[in-house]
Each structure stands twice: as C-alpha cells, then as structure tokens.
Amino acid sequence: MAETGKEQVKDVAETIRAEALSEDRLQRWWRPIYALELTLFECPGFGVVLFHALWAGAPQAVNGFANLSGLIMAYMAARFGVLGVYVSGRSKEKQAAATGAAAPSVIGQLVKAVTKRG
C-alpha cells in the first residue's frame, strides 16, 4: 500500500508541475476571473438587490429572499469553498513550480510517515 501511495503522490506531483508550467491562458486565468466575478459582482449584486427591496419596502422581494435564504447560503458556501480551495492551492502550485517538487499534502505526509515506520 505504501508503494501504491508513493506512486500516486508522484503522479499527482508530476501533474501539478505540468499544470504550473503550462502556458495555457485558460489554465492561468480562470481562477482569478472566478474570484473577481464572485467578489466584485455576485456578492455585491445580491446585497444591492436585497438592500433595494428593503429600502423600497417590497415585502414580496424580502419574503422571497427569506424563503430562499437557505439556498442562497448553500450556494455562496459552495462558491466560496471553491475560492478557498483555489487560494490554498495556489501557493502550493507556486511552490511546486519553484522547487520542482509538489508541496507536501496531508496524504503525502501520511504516506511518508507510513513508509518510515514500515
């Protein structure tokens, strides 16, 4: 199992290095565009619509937001979860590009600990 784990970690590291060195514009720009769209347009858009409904005294709109609040919160949690993964993963990509080796992950550290004991 340890050898299989080491091979998997090695394969993941090779993939990360290949992606980090990629000159593909989509590979380089989709995540920053995603972050900008979410933080500059989507969240403020929800806030402006809700504020306008409250300011204008539109009870149907306010009730609509209240009824959909669970769905909106789940949606935003998923969107910001993806953004959080991007932010934490980007530094690992930079480290992999600089050193030529993948940054240690939890699984990688576990495999390393198992192989040292075995």
Reported as a single tens digit per residue, the pLDDT across 55-108 is: 999 999 889 989 999 999 999 999 999 888 877 777 777 777 677 666 666 666
57 assigned to some structural domain: yes
- Find the domain containing 107 and state its range: 2-19+29-117
Number of domains in the chain: 1
pLDDT at residue 109, rounded to an integer: 66
24 assigned to some structural domain: no
**Alpha helices in the chain, H assignment, sequence order:** 2-21, 25-37, 43-56, 59-67, 69-99, 106-117
Q: Model confidence over 49-63: pLDDT tens digits?
A: 999 999 999 999 889
Q: Model confidence over 24-46: pLDDT tens digits?
A: 777 678 888 888 999 899 999 98
* 103: helix, strand or coil: coil
